[in-house]
Amino acid sequence: MFFGKRFSGHEGGIFSGLDILVLSIIENYDGISGYDLARSINEKFNKLWHASPGTIYPLLNRLAKRGFIEMEVLIKNNRNIKLYRITESGQKRLKEVLKNNLEPSINTLGEYLRTIVQTWIPNEDSIHSMMSCFPYQREHSHKTIDKEDYSITNIERVKRILGELNFSKSRISKRLDHIDMRISHLEALLSDLKSKREENTKTIEISDDDEYDDFEKS
């Protein structure tokens, strides 16, 4: 499972999937408590995995000792509450691990899912539409194409990538057409609203000082 999977990097030793998850949450929720951290994990992974205090707090202490997070003690209702923040070292380490390990893994997972999906969704456009929602970096995979490999596998891969790009281009084109229609509609609406305002707004003449004095004397 992801939480127990080990990820390595150039610096800082080995990270577990849970280390990465905890650091990511702390980075997004600066000053989060251990209780709220565990609750956030349990809400995200309900019925899949449960974050217990016996797992979370030793992990937080370990990350703090390694300099990836720092703790601040807040006294509330006569209780000491520890708040956690990611350090610059922690941000650097998290970015390194994500770049070197997760992106390639997600690319592989995306390829695997696409292979499975093809067995029950024969329509290519439907597959492209579904996989476009999957958060893996297509640009990254494009760079790894072997230009000297003329195997059927590599040819099919290039065809698939080309199909994805053409599909994305088509979606963008349709989106731009929709935006143009919206712009034209709103421009016409704006012009109509301005015309109605001019037709229904009365101009109030401002009297000069002499006229005002004459009015006061009358």
Name the band, by pLDDT with cuts 50, 70 and 90, for residue 128: low
Domains of the chain: 2-96 (1.10.10.10), 101-169 (no CATH)
Q: Are 20 and 107 in contact (CB under 8 A)?
A: no
pLDDT value of residue 16: 77
* DSSP string across 122-189: --HHHHHHHHTTS---HHHHHTT--TT--SHHHHHHHHHHHHHHHHHHHHHHHHHHHHHHHHHHHHHH
pLDDT value of residue 67: 92
Whole-angstrom distance, CA of residue 48 vs CA of residue 77: 34
pTM beyond 0.75: the answer is no
What are the pLDDT digits (tens) for 164-177?
778 777 778 888 88
Which percentage of the chain shows pLDDT scores above 70? 64
Whole-angstrom distance, CA of residue 110 vs CA of residue 93: 25
What are the pLDDT digits (tens) for 147-163?
888 888 778 878 878 88
Whole-angstrom distance, CA of residue 168 vs CA of residue 127: 12
